[in-house]
Amino acid sequence: MESLVLQPTAHTPSVSLNSESGVFEFKGRSTPENSVDYYDPIFKWLDQYVASPLPKTIVKLQFEYFNTSSSKCILDVLKKFVKLHNSGSDVKIQWFYEEEDDDMKEAGEDYSDILEIPFEIQLIP
């Protein structure tokens, strides 16, 4: 399975889904015109990964901002990892936020509460 890498734009985050290391990173702004269209290839890739995962998966999310439609897509992405976690795989979610960005910290806490999966909410060094 090949890794999936999407370069960032003014409206979309950088995405790196590394199938060899099991490290998945989302970083930047997520305000695409059509969130579902943007995230669709990510969903499809993750479905393939979940069917045959590595022993350990690390998910790093560091958003500057995301709009309402992206928040639903991010939740759907995270649900893929809940499925993986519930099947017995070692999954680690890391949610990063900047020092004065209480909204992004709370967003991570909200996702953690909704999904009931271990989350590390960390201040960006």
Domains, the chain, with CATH or none? 4-123 (3.30.750)
The pairing of strands 90-97 and 4-6 is unpaired
pTM of the predicted model, to two decimals? 0.94
71 phi and psi, to 5 degrees?
Answer: -60, -35
- Using the predicted structure, report yes or no on whether residue 116 has a pLDDT greater than 90: no
Q: What's the confidence (pLDDT) of residue 34? A: 96
Q: What's the confidence (pLDDT) of residue 7? A: 98
Mean pLDDT of 60-75: 97
Residue showing tokens 């590394």: 18
Tell me the two tokens of residue 67.
Answer: 């709009």
